[in-house]
């Protein structure tokens, strides 16, 4: 069954993204291409619903709906992981930013305590 292979590859990709995902230019290009591709494929699927079922049959899935659900699951995983990575990066930056601000404030306080408090 081709679908099993495709899904396992997708899940492995998600695992790779979780461990080594960093905001690279290639990653950005991939994400944009996939988003664009999803819009085009979505439009095709809306106009020609039969094509989805044909595609499903071609990879060994019974119904087009099932194929859509599988793809949705894997996509959801990718999106969640990418968001998580991004949140972590933002948090690291926020921590450093807040720390610098706190240290600066403390220094200022030490120099002229009467003016700051």
Partner 1 sequence: MTTTYTKGHESVLARTCVVIPMYNEAAVISDVVRAVRERFGRVVCVDDGSSDESPVLARAAGATVVRHPVNLGQGAALETGVRRALQDPSIEYVVTFDADGQHSVEDAASMVAVARDLGVQVVLGSRFLGDMEGASGHRRTLLKMAVRFTRATTGMKVTDAHNGLRVLRRDAAERLRFRLHGMSHASEVLSVISKHQWSYVEHPTTVTYTEYSRAKGQRGYNAFNIVFDLAANRLRAAS
* Interface ranges with partner 1 (CB under 8 A): 19-20, 91-92, 94-95, 98-99, 101-103, 105-107, 109-110
Asked whether 14 and 71 are in contact (CB, 8 A), the reply is no
Pick 39 or 95: Cβ nearer partner 1: 95
> Which helix (H) or strand (E) segment is 24 a member of?
none
CA gap 67, 5 in Å, rounded: 13
- CB 91 to partner 1: min, Å: 7
Q: Is the CB of residue 71 less than 8 Å from the CB of residue 18?
A: no
Both tokens of 15, joined, read 């695992």
* Residue 73 exposure: Cα atoms within 13 Å on the Cβ side: 10
Shortest distance (Å) from residue 7 CB to partner 1 = 23
Which residue lies nearer to partner 1 by CB, 32 or 99? 99
**Least distance from partner 1 to the Cβ atom of residue 79, Å:** 19
Between residues 46 and 110, which has the closer beta carbon with respect to partner 1?
A: 110
């Amino acid at each position: 069954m081709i679908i099993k292979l495709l899904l396992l590859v997708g899940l492995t990709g998600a695992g790779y993204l979780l461990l080594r995902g960093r905001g690279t230019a290639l990653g950005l290009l991939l994400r944009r291409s996939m988003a664009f591709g999803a819009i085009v494929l979505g439009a095709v699927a809306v106009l020609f619903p039969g094509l989805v079922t044909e595609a499903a049959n071609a990879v060994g899935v019974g119904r087009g709906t099932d194929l859509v659900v599988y793809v949705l699951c894997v996509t959801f995983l990718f999106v969640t992981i990418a968001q998580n990575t991004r949140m972590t990066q933002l948090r690291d930056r926020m921590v450093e930013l807040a720390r610098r601000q706190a240290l600066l404030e403390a220094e200022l306080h030490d120099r002229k305590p009467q003016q700051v408090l």
